[in-house]
Amino acid sequence: MERKNEADPAGTPNVAYTMGSGDEDEVLAGFRRSIDNIDAALVHMLAERFRITQSVGRYKAQSDLPPADPAREKEQIARLRKLAEASNLDPEFGEKFIRFIIDEVIRHHQNARDN
Amino acid sequence: MERKNEADPAGTPNVAYTMGSGDEDEVLAGFRRSIDNIDAALVHMLAERFRITQSVGRYKAQSDLPPADPAREKEQIARLRKLAEASNLDPEFGEKFIRFIIDEVIRHHQNARDN
C-alpha cells in the first residue's frame, strides 16, 4: 500500500495505479480494493454475530435448550431469501449462506453443551 | 413488530417483551433480534460484493483472463485469517468463509465466460 513515487525520486512506477504484480491490471486492482474493503466489513460483522451466538450457546446450555431450533432456522432462511431478493442477491446463494453460518453455530452450541 | 399493548386496551401481553411463540424466551428473543440485524447487514454487504465480482467476471471474460486466480486467492485467505484473528473470529472459520465466497464467485465467472 506504500506509494512508491512519493518516496522514490527515480520515479519507480506506482504499482497502485499502474500494473500489479503478475497477471493483475489496473482495472482489476481497483475492483479488488473494493472487494477487500467489503471482506473486512464482512469479517467484522461475522465476528460480532459469533460473539452473540456464543452468548446464545452458553444460555442454551445453562437452560437445557437444544442446540438446534428447526422452527427458528426455517424463519431465518425465509427471511434471508427475501432480503437477498430485495438486494438482488441470488436467493439460492442467500439460503446457502445462512445454512453455512447456522451449521457453524450449531457446531459451537454442541461444543458448549458437551464441554 | 407491532406493539399490541398500545393499540389494545384489553392489555394483550406484548410478545416482544415477554414470551415468544413456541420455545422462544425473552433472553433468546433479544439475542435473536441482534442476530437478525447483523444478518440483514451481511446480506447487503454480500449483495454489493457480488455486484463487484459480476463486473470482475465480465471484465475477465472480455479480457480473456482465467476465472480463477490462485495467487490472489492465497493472498485473500491469508488476509482474511489475519482479520479474523484481530476480531476474535476463529481463523479456520474465516478461511472456510472466504473459500465459500470465492467458490461461488468462480462459478459466476465460469458462467460469464461460457455464456
Q: How far is the C-alpha of A113 from the C-alpha of A63, rounded, in Å?
A: 10
pLDDT tens digit string along B19-68? 444 555 899 999 999 999 999 999 999 999 999 999 999 998 899 988 88
Find the helix packing angle between A26-62 and B70-86, rounded to 10°. 40
Q: Which of residues 26-65 of A touch B (CB under 8 A)?
A: 27-28, 31-32, 34-36, 38-53, 55-56, 59-60, 63, 65
Q: How far is the C-alpha of B69 from the C-alpha of B62, rounded, in Å?
A: 16
Helix (H, G, I), strand (E, B) or coil at B115: coil
Is CATH 3.40.50.170 what the domain over B4-114 is classified as, yes or no? no
Task: Find chain B residues with C-beta within 8 A of A40's C-beta.
Answer: 83
Lowest mean pLDDT among A99-113, B38-52, B69-83: A99-113
Q: Tell me if chain B has a CB within 8 Å of the CB of A106.
A: no
Asked whether B95 and B73 are in contact (CB, 8 A), the reply is no
The mean pLDDT of A9-33, rounded to a whole number, is 62
| pTM across the whole model | 0.77
> For A79, phi and psi rounded to 5 degrees?
-65, -45
Facing A100 at nearest CB: one of B43, B69, B100: B100
- Which of A46, A64, A81, A101 to mutate against chain B (most B CBs within 10 Å)? A46
Enter the DSSP assignment of B64.
T
User: pLDDT at position A52, please?
Assistant: 97
Helices (H) and strands (E) in chain B, counts: 4, 0
What residues contact A85, with CB distance under 8 A and at least 6 apart?
A: A91, A94
Facing A23 at nearest CB: one of B40, B65, B83: B65
For A67, A106, B32, B40, the CA distances from A112, given in Å and listed in that order, are: 9, 10, 18, 26
**What's the complex ipTM?**
0.77
